[in-house]
Structure formats: structure tokens, C-alpha cells
Amino acid sequence: MIRLPTNAALLLDLDGTLIDIAPTPDSVVVPPDLPPSLTRLRDHLGGALAIVSGRPIAQIDALLPGIATATAGEHGYAVRHSPDGIAVCAAVEPVPPDWVSAAKDWVSGNPGAIFEPKARGFVLHFRLAPQIGDGFRAKLAALLADNPHYRIGGAHMAWEVKPRGIDKGRAVREIMAHPPFAGRLPVFIGDDITDEDGMAEATRMGGFGLRVPADFANAAAVRAWLAALGA
């Protein structure tokens, strides 16, 4: 079993890492043993446990209320340093409203497609209609052509319009600058391409990253490992 350094800080992605990917973002299920297991681990680490997700912080709170000391949402756009604190958001231009209306039009014309708004950007999900993924990518590329503020990111069966310069590496830097994380070794665990920035930053700071292979069964393996670490 991989053991953590005694002075580790854990920064954990959520979907595909702690909870299983579901057909839609709203239909994920938090296994009942996950919250107590994460709480034990948080206490074991002196509080140095964070969730770093692409979801907005409100959604992370709804799934895992009051557990992580620090929470980063929307890939690091919003960072909150304590459960009862206020999220600090990066300075980012709002997404142009005509992009949002165009994306909603595409989704309404394609059964199975889902539009997910974010505070800065949006996601087009096509897990239930994989054949439209390439077409959506081309439409987004035309929409965003040469835009200095936003870029297209790939996720599990989804395209995300996200702010340039905001990534999970930023979230790691922000979280690790504050107690109880400061001075610890960051260990970032994620399953997706967006997690690579978090892993790279953790490594740069003297810690390391662990990549969960993309597979429906692997979040269960992560949960079992974390439960053993905190036991």
C-alpha cells in the first residue's frame, strides 16, 4: 500500500476519484462510508485535506458538506480556505452571453446533451449522446476563435469552456499557502486531464501526484485506500 508522508496534505479531485462517474453530473451517489472515512483522514492529517474539483463549490458542499478544510471549485477559479469561510474568486471576465445562448440552442436541438452553467464558463456534456461530441467541439472552436479570456478543455464525455490561466495548479498554490496546509507536502490525487496541473504543482512543491486510471471501478479503489490510511 502507498503510504503518505507524515506531513502530507491531501488535495483530492471529486468525480472519478472519490465518487463514481454517473450518466449525468446530478446523478452521482456519495457512498455512505465516504464522509466518515474522509473526516477521519482529515483529522489524521491535522486538517490538511482539500477537495479540488471542476464543480462549483456549492455542488461540492451539497455532496460532501463540512468535510474538507479547504475547497476549490471550478478548477481553482474559486477557493475557500475553511468550511465556514468565504470563497475567494480569481479576477476573470464573465463569459459572453451570446456564447451561452448559442450553447443552450445546440443542447436543446440534441437530445441527451446537457448544458451546465458555471460562474465563469460552462460545460457541454454528451455522455448520453456520444455521437455529438465532435460536432460540439467544432462549434465551440468557432465560437471561441482567438478569444483571449477563455479556452476549451476536455473532460469525461464533456467539453468545458473555461477561463485561461485558471487551473488546478492555481488551486494547489492557493490552498498550500494557508494553514493547516502550509509547510506540508502536497499530495494531489485525480483521474482526469484537468488534474495534471494539480499533480504538476504538487510535484513542483516537493510533494507528488497520483493519477487514478480512467475506469468506473477505480474510485472504489481510491476510497478503500483512503479508508485504510485514516484507520
Q: Residues in the site for Mg ion, rule: CB under 5 A?
A: 13, 15-16, 191-192
- If the CB atoms of residues 13 and 74 are measured against Mg ion, the closer one turns out to be 13
Q: Minimal CB distance to Mg ion: which residue?
A: 16
- If the CB atoms of residues 61 and 192 are measured against Mg ion, the closer one turns out to be 192
- If the CB atoms of residues 99 and 196 are measured against Mg ion, the closer one turns out to be 196
- Give the other-Cβ count within 10 Å of 183's Cβ: 10
Rounded to the nearest angstrom, the gap between the alpha carbon of residue 82 and the centroid of all alpha carbons in its chain is 17
Q: How far is the CB of 94 from Mg ion (least distance, A)?
A: 25
Helices (H) then strands (E): counts for the chain: 7, 11
The rounded distance, in Å, linking the Cα atoms of 194 and 46 is: 27
Q: How far is the CB of 109 from Mg ion (least distance, A)?
A: 28
The set of cell numbers assigned to 23 is 450518466
- Give the other-Cβ count within 10 Å of 24's Cβ: 12
CB neighbour class for 139 (10 Å; exposed up to 12, middle 13-18, buried from 19)? middle
- If the CB atoms of residues 8 and 52 are measured against Mg ion, the closer one turns out to be 52
The rounded distance, in Å, linking the Cα atoms of 128 and 150 is: 26
- DSSP state string for 183-219: TSEEEEEESSGGGHHHHHHHHHTT-EEEEPPS-TTHH
Q: How far is the CB of 194 from Mg ion (least distance, A)?
A: 7
Query: Does the active-site annotation cover 13?
Result: yes
The rounded distance, in Å, linking the Cα atoms of 141 and 223 is: 37
Question: Of 13, 61, 191, 197, which one is the catalytic site residue?
Answer: 13
- If the CB atoms of residues 107 and 155 are measured against Mg ion, the closer one turns out to be 155
Q: How far is the CB of 190 from Mg ion (least distance, A)?
A: 6
Q: How far is the CB of 179 from Mg ion (least distance, A)?
A: 27
CA angle 120, 126, 129 (to 5 degrees): 160
CB neighbour class for 26 (10 Å; exposed up to 12, middle 13-18, buried from 19)? exposed
Catalytic residues: 13
